[in-house]
Structure 1
Amino acid sequence: MRKLYVIGIGAGDPDQVTMQAVKAMRQVEAFFVIGKGAEKQELVDVRTAILTEHVDRPYRIVEVTDPPRDRTPADYRGAVEDWHDRRSALLESAFAEVDGIGGILVWGDPSLYDSTLRMIERVLARGAQTFDYEVIPGITSVQALAARHRMVLHRIGEPVHITTGRRLREEGLADSALVMLDGDCSFTAIPGDDIHIWWGAYLGMPDETLIEGPLRAVEQQILEVRARLRAEKGWIMDTYLLRRAATI
């Protein structure tokens, strides 16, 4: 492979694909797609629809099966490092099948809670393959959540804190936090009656669902809606902002 494009494609809405991303996709000869099983086939289907709409030249799909990982490990960092090693080895084998220009379509943006760039660096560090790669930015679920709720993520002069559900449980909520990767609904473990939540699932997709209000008043609704949606689809992607009432 001579060159690889790592292309952010947005949070789920095909209209979020940028012109820069379209120009990059139209140069790609082979797209590497990491499959996550039948339950998450919809994520592959969205990528396929984007390619069908925007790419006007022949290309092929090289499918890579995502290796399993322990979701509740005693050593979280060690488990993720092992998963990245196995994932990068599979990508390395797939890269060897392509002589020209490859591409990976990344949900959201490659810079935020995505392991693609780390795995590419692992492949290059092993030295068996040499290629150039370019990163194309995309709309994140953070931006999509803010737009759909018509809100500003920060107060005047204040920072934006982006974290995960696991870290929220460990550190608590000081003022406000944008939370991603929270399979355990960690907002239920945060004490206080002065917290507001802006929650969104499947942002930009046909099943997009939004709930907003005082946390204690709407948390049960979020739990019930989230459980129903996950049961119906077999998977869920959701993001939310927590903020104490005094700082809304």
Structure 2
Amino acid sequence: MSQVRVRILGVGMGPGHVTPEAAAALRSADYVLAWDKGDGDTGLLALRRAVVAAHAAHVPIVTIADPDRDRSPELTGPGYAAAVADWHDARAARCAQVLGERGGVAAILVWGDPALYDSTIRIVERVRSLGVELDYDVLPGISAPQLLAARHRIVLHEVGRPVHITTGRRLAQAVASGQDNIVAMLNPDGLDLSAVADWTIWWGANLGAAGEQLVTGRVGEVADEIAAARQAAKAEAGWVMDVLLVRRP
């Protein structure tokens, strides 16, 4: 196998969020690795193509068919962790094959920031464990919580107070544990917000991309508006990713 270098690049939500450092790294790559979820050149693959076209049009994109993943909504705890681990193993195996065959410098474009609710770093480490000789570096990007705060013109926490960042699946658990200022990411459709009905919410979908939507207010009063805005974002872009901040009054 050839020696490989992997550049893990945070790209926020599109071409306008790519830092000069990440753009230079992208231009230095021999190719970009991108997951194809079976929707052709639509959705997030199209957005990756837009990033490459804007900053490194000469760099080819090599697509890899994304393995199936168990996304059953009833999965919790160990079952969810096992499903994600299986998916990561399958992704790593497919990456290892391509990287081992092509060698050179590969760039992987990560939505938001690679350090926050993204598993690219873990997958690249798995690739190394499969015997691919590689080195890698990581360049940061604009994260979803940063975009949410900027769009709503807020600070994510009160003066001297913490902010708890978790996933939508664990929102109720965070509330039950006493957290009172919570950012939730990776939210499923129909997320149950009943535990925070009296709290204030700052919500956004597809921030910085097509179909951007923003809603704020008391949760119990704007829950239907959020559901409609989420569907509108998906209808316009073909995909939806949302993030929210809820704060106890």
Tell me whether the two structures share a fold, i.e. TM-score over 0.5: yes
Structure 1 unaligned spans of 5+: none
Give the CA deviation at 1:97: 2.7
In 1, Cα distance between the equivalents of 2:213 and 2:95? Answer: 34
Change beyond 3 A, Cα 1:192–1:232: closer
Report 1:172-183 matches (<5 A).
Answer: 172=175, 174-183=179-188
2:42 counterpart SS class: helix
Q: Structure 1 CA distance, aligned partners of 2:211 and 2:228?
A: 16
Which one of the candidate residues 75, 85, 90 is aligned to 2:89? 85
Name 1:189's counterpart in structure 2: 194
Matching residue's letter, 2:138: V
Aligned residues: 241
RMSD of equivalent CA atoms: 1.8
In the alignment, the residues of structure 2 paired with residue 234 and residue 189 of structure 1 have an alpha-carbon distance, to the nearest angstrom, of 28
Residue matched to 2:229: 225
Specify every segment of 5 or more residues in structure 2 that has no aligned partner in the other structure, as ranges: none
CA gap of 1:36–1:135, structure 2 versus 1, over 3 A, is same
State the distance in 2 between where 1:181 and 1:113 align.
Answer: 8
Instruction: Provide the residue aligned with 1:23 in structure 2.
Output: 24
Higher mean alpha-carbon deviation, 83-92 vs 163-172, is at 163-172
Q: Please list, as runs of the form range in 1=range in 2, the aligned pairs for 1:1-248 lying within 5 A after superposition.
A: 1-10=3-12, 12-38=13-39, 41-55=42-56, 58-72=58-72, 73=75, 75-127=79-131, 129-172=132-175, 174-193=179-198, 195-231=199-235, 233-245=237-249
TM-score, length-normalised on structure 2?
0.90
Distance 2:212 2:41 in 1: 16
% of aligned pairs identical? 43
Counterpart residue identity of residue 130, structure 2: R
CA contact (8 A) 1:7 1:137 kept: yes
Code of the residue aligned with 1:122 in structure 2: it is R
